[in-house]
Amino acid sequence: MREIILISFLGPDQPNQFTRLMQVLSVHSLQILDVGQAVIHNQLTLGIVVASDNETATALAMKEILILAHDIGLTVRFKPISNAEYEQWVSEGGRTRYIVTALAPELTAAHLQAVTKIVSSQGFNIETVTRLSGRLDLQTDSPFPRRACVQFGLSGQMLDAQAMRAACLSLSGELNIDVAVQEDNAYRRNRRLVCFDMDSTLIEQEVIDELALEAGVGAQVAEITERAMQGELDFQQSFRARVALLKGLDASVLPKIAERLTVTEGAERLISTLKALGYKTAILSGGFQYFAEYLQAKLGIDEVHANILDVRDGLVTGEVKGAIVDGARKAELLRQLADKMGISLEQAMAVGDGANDLPMLSIAGLGVAYRAKPLVRQNANQAISSVGLDGVLYLLGMHDKDLNRA
């Protein structure tokens, strides 16, 4: 009669434990059906599901496992699994899996309780819990911003995706925590292209507002900018209206403006990490090519597409050259870049903050609204507001310990 047994171990982690346990099972020819291990603060939790048709071999193996566990300081438990239970477990292997990522400057028990309550309400079971952020040194004040990230691996059937998304957004606003829900598939682990908006995403400013200040029309342009970013105005019309107000501006101020632009928190770490890992990066901006190229050189971006400010005789004419890079154009450019690389849109990622970023966020495999307006947060796949731009790396499943080597 075929026996299936779950063997659970708990105790201090030591070198060579797993090898010695496998040796016992190997001697008695037990089949390994499943195995999983976690170590937290040098405490080991290990589970092994074994099977055998030989009752004598199984009994001898269990006896030797008990002796070995005592010898290496582990507590061991045996739990028989019926054939029906095992077949049920096998049948669940074909279900869609999900990853929930929780990140914030600091994650408390209240945060995790709130996140897992949402998870449970959707009928999911938590199979894995993994800390992606680095170990927190309580004795040293780090010069880097604090952040914490925990990733949950879920099994089960999503009951209501829209309700889960709404609950996560609501929680973000209440507790200053970001919660991302992604399908755990091959694409999630194989993104190859990351496209960024520039203004208020890679940099903290809106460049057109900076130009307007130099031209003495700051208040008029800022009002139009805000209405456009909130989605209240058509981007092309509002953009032309703002650029027209710049007519007569001395182009010699462009380098001065570029030098005072502030790179967003975490942007340099994000870009350098992506480059080290072989990702292609691009700026797709409704701003201006001059500043996009400045940022390209500073951060090492692979490709940039933005609006070309028309300058004649050293003065801004109040017009742009060529087609305006609006939301539709950003999405088109993202498609073109993916085609050029020979990758699926599912392998592309887009990050932005404004309403004109929504088209590219919606077609990318992973679209992230970064410190975005409410309209954008509600319509993007994912949103990050509580940490710096490098928090995006956690959505790609990266660990801090790996990033330090990148």
pLDDT tens track for 184-220: 988 988 999 999 999 999 999 999 999 999 999 999 9
Q: What is the CATH number of the domain that holds 30?
A: 3.30.70.260
Structure tokens at 219: 């208040």
Percent pLDDT > 70 in the chain is 97
Distance in angstroms (rounded) separating the CA atoms of residues 322 and 331 = 17
**Of 33, 59, 90, which marks where a domain is finished?**
90
Q: What is the pLDDT of residues 15-44, one digit of tens each?
A: 999 999 999 999 999 999 999 999 999 999
Number of domains in the chain: 3
* Active-site annotation holder among 197, 353, 357, 390: 197
User: Which pTM was predicted?
Assistant: 0.88
Residues 168 and 200 in one domain: no
Q: Has residue 52 been placed in a domain?
A: yes
Other CB atoms within a 10 A radius of the CB of residue 294 amount to 20
At 52-89, the pLDDT tens digits run: 999 999 999 999 999 999 999 999 999 999 999 999 88
Please say if 197 is a catalytic residue. Answer: yes
User: CATH number, domain at 382?
Assistant: 3.40.50.1000
283, 301 contact by CB (below 8 A): yes
Q: Active-site residue 137, yes or no?
A: no
Boundary of a domain, candidates 43, 73, 90 = 90
Residue 112 belongs to domain spanning = 96-181
DSSP letters for 246-287: TTT-BGGGHHHHHHT--BPTTHHHHHHHHHHTT-EEEEEEEE
Which one of the listed residues 199, 209, 326, 353 is annotated catalytic? 199
Whether 312 and 335 map to the same domain: the answer is yes
Lowest mean pLDDT among 51-60, 80-89, 130-139, 312-321: 130-139
**Sheet holding 43-52: strands in order across?**
31-40, 43-52, 3-12, 75-80
The DSSP call for residue 90 is: H
Q: Would you mind telling me the total number of residues written for the chain in this entry?
A: 406
One domain, residues 200 and 348: yes
State the Cα–Cα distance between residues 235 and 229, nearest whole angstrom. 8
249-299 confidence digits (pLDDT tens): 999 999 999 999 999 999 999 999 999 999 999 999 999 999 999 999 999
Contacts of 279 (CB under 8 A, 6+ apart): 191, 192, 193, 194
Would you place residue 120 in the very low, low, confident or very high pLDDT band (cuts 50, 70, 90)?
very high
Cβ atoms of 77 and 8 closer than 8 Å: yes
130 and 85 within one domain: no
Rg (CA), the chain: 27
